Chains A and B, each alone.
Chain A
Amino acid sequence: MNRFICILWCFAFVSFTTLAKPPSYGEAIPERAWEVVDNPELGIRDAAYLDYYVKFTDINVTHYRLIRILSEHGKAAAEFVAPKEYLRNVRGRVIDRNGSITEFDRKEDFVDIMTYRTRSEKVKTKILIPPGLTDDCIVEIEWTISGKGGLEGDNYVNRHLIPEPFYCVKKVLDLPNFQRMQLQAGQDDWLVTRSLWSNVNPPIKFTKTKYRGSEKTLVYENVPPRKAYPYSNNYFDTQIPYFLIFRTIPNMGKDTDTFWKSFVRDYIKPDYNAFSMGGEYRKFLKDLKGRLGADPKLDPAQNPLGAARFALDALHRRLSVTYLLKADQLAAFRMQKERKAPKLEDCFRDGWANPSEMTRIYVKTLRDLGIQHQLLLTTNHNDPPFRAGENNPFAISWRPLVLVVNGEQQAMFCPWTPQFASGHLPSYYQGLPALVIDPDNKWAISYGATLHYGAAINQCQTNYQATLGKDGTFSVAMEQSGSGAFNAEMTESIYSLTDQERDAMLAERWQRRFGDDYLVEKVTTQGDRDIKDICVVSVEASMDLSGDSQWLSVNPFPGSMIDMYSPPMWPSDRTQPIFLNRPFYQVDTMRLQVPQGWKLKGEPSWQKANSVGTVKFVALQEGQTITIQRAITLNNHMLEAKAEPSLRVFLAWIEEVEAQQIAVSQGGA
């Protein structure tokens, strides 16, 4: 027995000493810490975290940092900002290369700023700029933030990216036993905490171990710094590992499929299952059925896609969405008192619905028309993508897109964006992973993706007719209209204005776009009062083009812009995908009448194309008519990282074609 106890004791002693310890404030800085210096190959520049340590418990989160500062820029690594209400126990010091130590003084160095104050709450932030920072020192700082269930303050989620703006020699996440934590919290705490972590790629070295006093410790070593890239979303970068900790709904099942089935049953089905609606809705439905019935091509049984499209058009014409109201609706909306117990019927009385109400009404309409449909829950291009295995109901929108299938064909409907044609998904919802729900199949779930469209659905045509008079006057008539995103943008900018305001705003806008050499005489619009119509803008303008030069330089497409820009710099080594605004096809055409004897100079036509898109400029003369056309195609708005060089070249061509003018001269090319 004694021997047994002895062995046990030895074993415990050995385990105790071989288990790594969490860092301890105030110990001597090892010599090798000073050996960490700039290393461009590894990505060490400006500063490096020698030890970045976070410990999660049920009542707080403790932080420890040991930071090597290498330059002026690197001093930012030592800046400290924390919410005062939840901050406990902060201390720190700066150790200079020559050995001098500056301790942070609580009163002097930590500043409490009133970040935000309202009648009901006061939020203060503690800011520290460590005194004594030089461009060759080490900073040690430790602090605790109180919280609940492993999260700080009253946060519900922390999606922590492992790479920091500076190199991490070592980053440690120290985790508790969440289940035991849950049992201890008991009845007080309805939500449970879940945590998970993504895969890691070289050069990051990942070890799952166990520090003394904790349950599970994730150790990341040699983590290169993360840069900020243009047109990006870090959460889509598979090279950026992350740790996710979040509070979630309990008793939904551990297994991913079970989790999502439970979630749909408890939180989605109640809103989108069958329910009844009152008289105004029934009138709308009856009218809709009548119109569908009048056209055999719109029979819901034969052509569910066509009928679904027609139904959404009808709904969008009957109800405005609350963020895009007509002028008189906006005035009435502002007069309205807050609805205490809103009912869906109220939408028909008011003439508007918010995005969630609009979606529920549309789904009900489809059900009442007998059109089979599926619901898709997803995210958008700015947020983290849906990853089913996370079992995280808060990382997904609870308001569904609607999918209708007819054999090989399918269409996706976004009920809350009436400014787009029905069946057109806004570009920021395209190509994303989604949770697919089938209400007609016992609310079964599956995993799919939202549709991905090309350039054809976003087209913009601008046609110019111009005449160059013998006296040098240059008069232009322009007509511009678009589809998809172009039409949506035009609609959004004028739909809520009165006729008078719209005209004044457009007159100013087009005068600005044409430039001060022109006098914009008239701006008219059509089709901007029906949310589902195509909006057409017409402009008449003139200017004096006479000059001393032997030839005249003419901008063939005054006022027409190309919405694609290069940022001033593209940091190197990009691994994450590129998210542009929208794919599109844009054509500008000018028909210019010149007086007898006048000719187009030179041969200005050209065309350049690569995998990202095409830019084409054509100019030719037939008799007294010179036709100039520029056509730009951006094939896709979601590109792989390796397309970056081609994208930059494409953007250079855009800049080139946007600035290009033509020359006309009297008497010869």
Chain B
Amino acid sequence: MRSLFSLLCLITLFAPPAWAQLGSGLPDWAKTALAEKEGVAPPEKADLWRLLDETIISPDNKGRITVQRRVVQKVITEHGVDLASIFVIDGDPNTTKVKRLKGWHQNSRGKITKLDKANVFTVSQAQINRVSHDASTAAYFEKVGRNSIIVFESKERRTEVFNQDLVFMLSNFPIAKRVIDVRLTGAQLQPVNFDSWQLTYQQEGTRLVAKHLPEIQREWMTADSGYFFPYLIINHRQGTEFDVTFDTWSSLGSWYYRTFAQSASFQEGGEAIDNITQLAGIFERQQKDISYRQRYLTPGRGWVPASGGDVQRRKYGDCKDMVACLGFEATKQKIAVYPALATIIRDYYPDETKPVSPFAFNHVIAAVPLKQSLGLAAEVMVDNQLMLLVDPTSKGTPLGYLPADYRGRQVFLCNKEGGAWIEIPEKALEKRAIKVQVFGRLDQHHTLGGSLIISSRGNALGLRMLPDNRDPEDVEWLVRRGLDIPGTAVLTINHVAPGEPGEIQVTCQVMWPSFLRHDVHGFRLPGTIVPHTRLQIEDRGKERQQAIRIAPQVATSWVMSLSTVRPMAPGAEATEWSDDTRRFAWKASGGKTLKVEYHRAGKKRLFPKSDLQAGIDYWEGYRENYNAFYLTDTLFQEVPSAN
């Protein structure tokens, strides 16, 4: 008996760490998650390992949705401390109410601290150009260190806008087990990109469990869109603010048309037009009067426009407010206007074949039916009806054109019957091009003193956004940004004037130190004009993880005439290369006056996860050609004098 007692005392005295590691004090589900990974090594190079990430979506008894989250994570390195210490819930306090927020921190000695409510704070995400009630609620632990285990549990009540939610699977750290359990009426789960990302997952009804999710690597030349990553579309029939389901694009289209026209106060009875005068008047007044600002003060306002009259009073609005205002005025004059959903900037190209979702779009433009062709570039045929596409948000684009960003895209026209996908033809886009002529002298330090004559077509430099009485510093900023002129060069803007239709010309003086820079056994032009050698796309020893984006290049030409102190000769007098994506062309002659022409242009290309090798191969081929050209052809050498 006595020895047993002593034994118990000994155990109690010397085993506390071991006992504590059993996780007493942590909730059962956390203990289970820890036990599952007991003795398992974390993924290589992980700073933080999330053992469990569980999301349970269920209805409450008032037609709203409750989202419960449970997170269990372990800190592996010092670098993971900050990431592990904090748990964030985003949302609008009017639609997302945090009902419960609990946390536990077990330090490396096994001591457990509960989340101190004083360490929970909410911060607004509003900005002066994007006024909203969006906020982030964060809970954090102090004194987190290596081997800390952090557990968070939250419960939010959400008032949903749509019968659809998207859940993105990956994070900046590896996740051992991700559970998404949807307990909503009529719920259907649609995994997207799970197979191309080779995710290990199982689905039982509307409960999905994915394991061994990798962390998102830091890579470059990546596509700008979350839709290249694995995500889950959840469609359900729970009551929401907007009574629309996403079975077909048509149901989305007719709902949006009705909602839009009503909210914007469109008048009925609008018809097709046979001349542009009235519409042009409305368009120009609006371009002048209405500024772009986002104002999302109610849940649906990310989707539903303000009334046209309201936009006119405020004199500002976002893209859909601008379409609402245009339609408000136009329908008053019996011109029919339809909203068309679009996606710009992001590298997502929705079309009929993509999953039906309002989240596919981030922009709205207008479509106006025409009785006959008015000879405008942005006319398209939709179901035997000629339509003019108008983007009132784009300040720099004249009526009748669309900005270059619509290249290769489709927009979804919404009408009473449903809607139609419209392919944007190349002819609808204003051609963008930049040409820079350089005249000047290079002194003995190869500093250039001279002038630049810049031609910007199709608003390539964004100069149309400036008022007529432009400030020279605003012009300078746009020129520097568009041409990537280094801050070390001094530019003085002399003159800005329109040239040919769609063109703006800028002339300026320049003092550009180290214009010709020393390299190897000669000199090179600035990287602004002829870019440096291209880097490899794959990090050493790592397999490429994410979709590849080959960036578009605005057609740019540099034409230079430079006098030098000593005669020089270029590496090559003429080189040209092109494939179906990119091209460059070089012409140069030497002596005491260097004459150089360099042209380049390129299309955007995207290679999704299923096609990565093609992207890697493409880039390697381009890189090899470009680097070889750069190394030898673009090198200027001083020529010894004749005598």
Given A132-B313, A655-B514, decide whether A567 and B487 contact each other with a Cβ distance below 8 A. Answer: yes
Question: What residues on B are CB-neighbors of A276 within 8 Å?
Answer: none
Given A119-B118, A602-B520, decide whether A132 and B514 contact each other with a Cβ distance below 8 A. Answer: no
Pick the contact of B480: A40, A72, A568, A603 (CB < 8 A): A568
B315–A133 contact, CB under 8 A?
A: yes
Q: Is A75 an interface residue when CB atoms closer than 8 A count as contact?
A: yes
Question: What residues on A are CB-neighbors of B632 within 8 Å?
Answer: 549
B521–A113 contact, CB under 8 A?
A: no
Given A116-B123, A549-B631, A549-B632, decide whether A517 and B518 contact each other with a Cβ distance below 8 A. Answer: no
Given A497-B78, A516-B539, decide whether A659 and B519 contact each other with a Cβ distance below 8 A. Answer: yes
Given A102-B313, A334-B143, decide whether A566 and B517 contact each other with a Cβ distance below 8 A. Answer: no
A645 CB, nearest partner CB in chain B, Å: 7
Q: Is B473 an interface residue when CB atoms closer than 8 A count as contact?
A: yes
Pick the contact of B513: A516, A518, A606, A653 (CB < 8 A): A653
Q: Is A330 an interface residue when CB atoms closer than 8 A count as contact?
A: yes
Q: Is A570 an interface residue when CB atoms closer than 8 A count as contact?
A: yes
Q: Is A118 an interface residue when CB atoms closer than 8 A count as contact?
A: yes
B511-529: CB near A (< 8 Å → 1, else 0) gives 0111001111110000100
Given A659-B532, A661-B520, decide whether A134 and B79 contact each other with a Cβ distance below 8 A. Answer: no
A116–B521 contact, CB under 8 A?
A: no
A111–B297 contact, CB under 8 A?
A: yes
A127–B131 contact, CB under 8 A?
A: yes
A71–B631 contact, CB under 8 A?
A: no
Given A46-B471, A572-B473, decide whether A656 and B514 contact each other with a Cβ distance below 8 A. Answer: yes
A113–B126 contact, CB under 8 A?
A: yes
Cα A648 to Cα B511 with chains together (Å): 11
Closest to B218 in A: A512
Which of B93, B471, B514 gathers most chain A CB within 10 Å? Answer: B514
A604–B473 contact, CB under 8 A?
A: no
Question: What residues on A are CB-neighbors of B100 within 8 Å?
Answer: none
A331–B146 contact, CB under 8 A?
A: yes
Q: Is A335 an interface residue when CB atoms closer than 8 A count as contact?
A: yes
Cα A504 to Cα B124 with chains together (Å): 37
B316–A133 contact, CB under 8 A?
A: yes
Q: Is A489 an interface residue when CB atoms closer than 8 A count as contact?
A: no
* Interface residues in B453-477 (C-beta closer than 8 Å to A): 467, 469, 471-474, 476-477
Given A72-B467, A602-B521, A604-B521, decide whether A649 and B108 contact each other with a Cβ distance below 8 A. Answer: no
Cα A505 to Cα B532 with chains together (Å): 28
Pick the contact of B313: A46, A131, A519, A660 (CB < 8 A): A131
B535–A515 contact, CB under 8 A?
A: yes
A118–B481 contact, CB under 8 A?
A: no
A632 CB, nearest partner CB in chain B, Å: 14
B107–A134 contact, CB under 8 A?
A: no
A113–B133 contact, CB under 8 A?
A: yes
B529 CB, nearest partner CB in chain A, Å: 14
Q: Is B588 an interface residue when CB atoms closer than 8 A count as contact?
A: no
Question: What residues on A are CB-neighbors of B93 within 8 Å?
Answer: 114
Cα A134 to Cα B631 with chains together (Å): 53
Cα A330 to Cα B514 with chains together (Å): 48
Q: Is A82 an interface residue when CB atoms closer than 8 A count as contact?
A: no
A558 CB, nearest partner CB in chain B, Å: 14
Cα A327 to Cα B78 with chains together (Å): 9
Question: What residues on B are CB-neighbors of A549 within 8 Å?
Answer: 628, 631-632
B609-643: CB near A (< 8 Å → 1, else 0) gives 00000000000000000001001100001000000
Q: Is A41 an interface residue when CB atoms closer than 8 A count as contact?
A: no
A541 CB, nearest partner CB in chain B, Å: 11
Given A114-B124, A114-B135, decide whether A649 and B513 contact each other with a Cβ distance below 8 A. Answer: yes
Which of B473, B477, B519 gathers most chain A CB within 10 Å? Answer: B519
B79–A566 contact, CB under 8 A?
A: no
B535–A566 contact, CB under 8 A?
A: no
B293 CB, nearest partner CB in chain A, Å: 6
Question: What residues on B are CB-neighbors of A656 within 8 Å?
Answer: 514, 517-518
B380 CB, nearest partner CB in chain A, Å: 31
B317 CB, nearest partner CB in chain A, Å: 11
B428-462: CB near A (< 8 Å → 1, else 0) gives 00000000000000000101000000000000000
Cα A515 to Cα B535 with chains together (Å): 9
* Interface residues in A504-551 (C-beta closer than 8 Å to B): 504-505, 511, 515-519, 548-549, 551
Q: Is B566 an interface residue when CB atoms closer than 8 A count as contact?
A: no
B46 CB, nearest partner CB in chain A, Å: 11
B488–A566 contact, CB under 8 A?
A: yes
Question: What residues on B are CB-neighbors of A113 within 8 Å?
Answer: 124, 126, 131, 133
A551–B520 contact, CB under 8 A?
A: yes
Cα A569 to Cα B123 with chains together (Å): 33
B100-141: CB near A (< 8 Å → 1, else 0) gives 000000011101000001101111101010010101000000
Question: What residues on A are CB-neighbors of B288 within 8 Å?
Answer: 134-135
Q: Is B144 an interface residue when CB atoms closer than 8 A count as contact?
A: yes
Question: What residues on A are CB-neighbors of B486 within 8 Å?
Answer: 566, 568, 652, 655
Q: Is A296 an interface residue when CB atoms closer than 8 A count as contact?
A: no
Cα A475 to Cα B144 with chains together (Å): 42
A511–B477 contact, CB under 8 A?
A: no
Q: Is B21 an interface residue when CB atoms closer than 8 A count as contact?
A: no
B530-543: CB near A (< 8 Å → 1, else 0) gives 00100110111000
Cα A528 to Cα B351 with chains together (Å): 57
A660–B121 contact, CB under 8 A?
A: no
Pick the contact of B487: A114, A127, A570 (CB < 8 A): A570
Cα A331 to Cα B111 with chains together (Å): 13
B475-506: CB near A (< 8 Å → 1, else 0) gives 01100110000111110000000000000000
Closest to A332 in B: B145
Q: List 13 A-B contacts (CB under 8 A).
A: A71-B467, A73-B474, A76-B128, A119-B117, A119-B118, A131-B314, A134-B315, A498-B146, A501-B77, A504-B45, A569-B476, A648-B488, A655-B488
